[in-house]
C-alpha cells in the first residue's frame, strides 16, 4: 500500500508541474486504498482541487473539482471567476470543462455572449439558479433581442429574470401585433424593459386610449410606442389630458404629434414653453380652419430644442427671464388652500355659480 501511495503522490506532482489539471482529476484514483479506514487528502492549492477518500467509498472515486477557490467550494458563482474579460483571450477557456457551471457557461458562449457579458449577466440576481437564467435568456434571444440589449434590459429591470418563458412568448405575440420588429424590440428592451413585465391589460388600456379616444391610427400607435415607450407607464388620465392640451390648446394635428415625439417630453415642460411663447406673442392657437395670423414654430423644434436654444433662438429672450416666468406660472397654477385644508374659492366664482343655478 505504501508503494501505491508513493506512486500516486509522484503522479500528482508530475501532473501538477505540467498543469494537466483535468487529466489529474481523471487519472488519480484511490480505489486500491480500502484495507482500513483511511482518509487521504491531497491539496493542489493553485488548481483549487481537493481529494477526500473514506472507508465508506468502496469503488473508484476520481478527483472532484469543486471550485477554483478551495475555501469557498460551495459558492456556485465562483466558477465565473475563470471567465475573463481580457480582450486578448477570445477563445473558450479550457478549464470550463471541469467547472461546476461549465455546461451552462458553454451555452452562453455559444449564444454569442462574451466573457465580460457572462460575468455581468450572472451578477444580476446572483441567487437565481443558473438553468433558470439560461432558459429565460434563451427565450429573450429567440424574440430577436441582441446580447447587448438583453444584458442592458436585465441590468435595468432585474425582475425580468423572474418571468416564465411562456409569459415572454405571449408578450412577444402582443408586441408583434403592434408592429414591433427586431430593431424596435431592441430599442424597447434597452429604454423601457418593464414593458415585458407589464400586465397585458395595461398595454391594452393604453392602446385603446390612443386609438379610440385620441383617434390615432394603428400605424401611428405603433410609432408612438416605438419612439415613446414611456407612455405605457403613464397614468391614463394624465396621458389623455396631455394629448388634449397639444391637440386643442396648441392646435397640433395627429401626424405632427407623432413625428415630433411629443410624448417623450413632460407636460410641464411643454406647457412652460408654449405659454411663454404665447405671452410673448410668438404663438397663436389656430382657429377652426387651422389658420393663424402669425407663423407658429413647429412642434418638433419647440420640443427638441435645448432650453438655451429655445429661449435664445425661438423665444428671442433671456434665460433669466424664462426662469422668472416659470416660477410665476407655477404660482398661478398652484391651488390655494384655506387653513382648515379646504380649497380656497373666489367669491365671484361662487356668485356666478349661484346665478346659474337660479336661472
CA angle 91, 114, 160 (to 5 degrees): 150
Q: Which of 39-43, 105-109, 214-218, 228-232 has the lowest mean pLDDT?
A: 39-43
pLDDT at 91 over 80: no
State the helix-helix crossing angle for 147-156 and 182-191, rounded to 10 degrees: 30
Q: What is the pLDDT, as a whole number, of residue 182? A: 65
Q: How far apart are CA 54 and CA 39, in angstroms?
A: 5
Provide mean pLDDT across the span 38-61: 37
For residues 283 and 172, what is the distance between their CA atoms, to the nearest angstrom? Answer: 43
Dihedral angle computed from the Cα positions of residues 337, 341, 345 and 346, in that order, rounded to the nearest 10 degrees? -60
Whether pLDDT at 66 is above 80 = no
For residues 42-67, average pLDDT: 36
Examine the pLDDT at 3 and tell me if it is beyond 50: no
Cell numbers describing residue 161: 429574470
* pLDDT at 77 (0 to 100): 46
Per-residue pLDDT at 174: 84
Q: How many other β-carbons are positioned within 10 Å of the β-carbon of residue 285?
A: 12
Q: Which of 51-65, 218-232, 268-282 has the lowest mean pLDDT?
A: 51-65
Closest-CA residue to 210 (of 262, 134, 250): 262
Rounded distance, CA 258 to CA 266, Å?
A: 15
Residue 347 pLDDT greater than 50, yes or no: no
pLDDT at 315 over 90: yes
Percent of the chain with pLDDT over 90: 40
pLDDT value at position 81?
55
pLDDT of residue 191: 80
Q: Provide the pLDDT for residue 127.
A: 87
pLDDT, average across residues 292-308? 95
Given this model, what pLDDT does residue 340 score?
A: 53
Residues in the chain: 359
Between CA 251 and CA 283 the distance in angstroms is 11
pLDDT at 236: 95
Distance CA 50, CA 29 (A): 13
Average pLDDT, the chain: 74
Residue 337 — very low, low, confident or very high, per pLDDT cuts 50/70/90? low
| Per-residue model confidence as pLDDT tens digits over 147-161 | 998 999 999 999 988
Q: How far apart are CA 5 and CA 167, in angstroms?
A: 57
- Output the pLDDT for position 334: 82
Evaluate the CA torsion angle 168, 173, 179, 183 in order and state its sign.
positive
- pLDDT bracket for residue 344 (50, 70, 90): low
**Long-range contacts of the stretch 209-218 (C-beta < 8 A, 24+):** 209/236, 209/239, 209/240, 210/243, 213/240, 214/240, 214/243, 214/247, 214/254, 215/254, 216/254, 216/258, 217/254, 218/179
- When mean pLDDT is compared over 13-27, 79-93, 244-258, the highest value belongs to 244-258
Distance CA 256, CA 206 (A): 20
Residue 220 pLDDT: 94
Query: In this structure, are residues 273 and 304 in contact, taking their beta carbons and an 8 Å threshold?
Result: no
pLDDT in tens, 190-230: 888 888 888 889 999 999 999 999 999 988 998 998 888 88
Amino acid at each position: 500500500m505504501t508503494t501505491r501511495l508513493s506512486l500516486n503522490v509522484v503522479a500528482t506532482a508530475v501532473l501538477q508541474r505540467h498543469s494537466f489539471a483535468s487529466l489529474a482529476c481523471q487519472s488519480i484514483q484511490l480505489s486500491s486504498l480500502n484495507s482500513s479506514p483511511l482518509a487521504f487528502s491531497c491539496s493542489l492549492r493553485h488548481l483549487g482541487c481537493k481529494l477526500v477518500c473514506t472507508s465508506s467509498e468502496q469503488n473508484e472515486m476520481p478527483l472532484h473539482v469543486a471550485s477554483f477557490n478551495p475555501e469557498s467550494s460551495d459558492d456556485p458563482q465562483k466558477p465565473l471567476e475563470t471567465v475573463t474579460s481580457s480582450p486578448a483571450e477570445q477563445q473558450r477557456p479550457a478549464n470550463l470543462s471541469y467547472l461546476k457551471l461549465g455546461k451552462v457557461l458553454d451555452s452562453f458562449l455559444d449564444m454569442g455572449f462574451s466573457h465580460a457579458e457572462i460575468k455581468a449577466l450572472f451578477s444580476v440576481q446572483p441567487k437565481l439558479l443558473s438553468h433558470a437564467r439560461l432558459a429565460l435568456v434563451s427565450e429573450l434571444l429567440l424574440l430577436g433581442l441582441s446580447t447587448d440589449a438583453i444584458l442592458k434590459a436585465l441590468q435595468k429591470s432585474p425582475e425580468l429574470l423572474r418571468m416564465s418563458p411562456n409569459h415572454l412568448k405571449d408578450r412577444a405575440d402582443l408586441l408583434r401585433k403592434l408592429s414591433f420588429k427586431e430593431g424596435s424590440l431592441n430599442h424597447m428592451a434597452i429604454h423601457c424593459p418593464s414593458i415585458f413585465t407589464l400586465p397585458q391589460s395595461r398595454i391594452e388600456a393604453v392602446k385603446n386610449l390612443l386609438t379610440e379616444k385620441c383617434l390615432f391610427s394603428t400605424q401611428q400607435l405603433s410609432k408612438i410606442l416605438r419612439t415613446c415607450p414611456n407612455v405605457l407607464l403613464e397614468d391614463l388620465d394624465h396621458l389623455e389630458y396631455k394629448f388634449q392640451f397639444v391637440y386643442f390648446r396648441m392646435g397640433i394635428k395627429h401626424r405632427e404629434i407623432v413625428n415630433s415625439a411629443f410624448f417623450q417630453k413632460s407636460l410641464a415642460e411643454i406647457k412652460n414653453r408654449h405659454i411663454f411663447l404665447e405671452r410673448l406673442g410668438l404663438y397663436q392657437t389656430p382657429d377652426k380652419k387651422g389658420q393663424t395670423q402669425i407663423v407658429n414654430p413647429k412642434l418638433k423644434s419647440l420640443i427638441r430644442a435645448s432650453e438655451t436654444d429655445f429661449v435664445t433662438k425661438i423665444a428671442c429672450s433671456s434665460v433669466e427671464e424664462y426662469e422668472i416666468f416659470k416660477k410665476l406660472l407655477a404660482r398661478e397654477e398652484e391651488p390655494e388652500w384655506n387653513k382648515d385644508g379646504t380649497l380656497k374659492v373666489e367669491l365671484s366664482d361662487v356668485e356666478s355659480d349661484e346665478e346659474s343655478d337660479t336661472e
